Amino acid sequence: MGRVICIANQKGGVGKTTTSLNLAVLLAIAGQRTLLVDLDPQCNATTGLGLAPSERHALVDSRPLRESFVDTYQLGLSLLPGSRSFQDVDALANSSDTHASMLATHLSGSLGSFDTVLIDCPPSLGPLTRTALTSASEVLMPIQCEYFAMEGLTQMIDVIRQVIDRPNSRLTFGGILLTMYDASLELTVEVDREVRDFFGEVVFQNVIPRDVAVSEAPSHGRSVVDYAPRSRGARAYVELCQEVLERV
C-alpha cells in the first residue's frame, strides 16, 4: 500500500479541506495515482471538486468500496465522495470501537491501487477521525496562525500518539502546516516562532498565506492552481506538494 495521509485537526476553519483538495490535485499533476476520501459530513472536499455528495456514504454501504470511487476533472485523481445523509452521518460519527475497526479494515483494504491517499477528516476527535488515523500512514495537521492556534493542539497530539502506540500501527507524524499566514502581523510571526521552537522539523518549511484566490477556488469546483495559477496561494501549495513528496 502507498502513502495514506490523514489531514486532521479538531478545530474548524484552519484550512484542512482546502489543503486536502489542493494537495490532492497537485499530487495527481505530479504523476501520483491519488485518491481523496471525504469523511467530513459537510462534504466540502466533494463539492470543492465540482462533484455532488453521495446519497449513501460508501463506508456504510454494502458495496465494495472501489465501486464508489469517482473520477474528477484532474487526470489521475479519484474521489470517494462524502454524504450528507443524516443516517450515514450518525452511523459514522457514533461508531462503536468494533464498527470503527471494521471501517478501518474496509478503508485500508481498497487503497492498494493508489500511490497516495488523502483523507479529509471532520473537525473533531471523534470515532471517525480516530478511524481515519488508524487507517493512515501519516497525519498532516494544518493550524491557523492565530491566538487560539495552540488551543486543543495537545489533545490532538495525544490522540495521534495513542494511535501510533497501538500494535501494528504504521502511523507517523507527517507534519504541521501553518495556514492563513500573514507575515505583516506580529501575532503570525509569534505563532510561527512558538510552533517551530516546540515542534522543530515536524513543521513544514512552506506556509499557506492568506489569499482570496484560495477561498474563491472551491466555489468554482477547482483547485487554486486551476482557478488562479499565478496567485500566492497556488505557488504556496505547489511548494507544499514538493515538500510532501520529499518527505517519503
Q: Is 111 left (phi over 0), alpha (psi -120 to 50) or beta?
A: alpha
Report which secondary-structure segment, H or E, holds 179: strand 172-179
| pLDDT bucket at 100, cuts 50 / 70 / 90 | low
| pLDDT bucket at 75, cuts 50 / 70 / 90 | very high
Answer yes or no: is pLDDT of 243 > 70. yes
- The candidate with the shortest Cα–Cα distance to 106, out of 34, 25, 39, is 39
Q: State the pLDDT at residue 150.
A: 73
Q: Domains in the chain, please, with CATH? A: 3-246 (3.40.50.300)
Using DSSP's 3-state secondary structure scheme, residue 188 falls into: helix
Answer yes or no: is pLDDT of 36 > 60. yes
- Average pLDDT of the chain is 88
Q: State the pLDDT at residue 128.
A: 79
Strands 3-7 and 34-38: unpaired
Q: Are 120 and 16 in contact (CB under 8 A)?
A: yes
| pLDDT bucket at 155, cuts 50 / 70 / 90 | confident
Q: Bigger pLDDT: 90 or 208?
A: 208
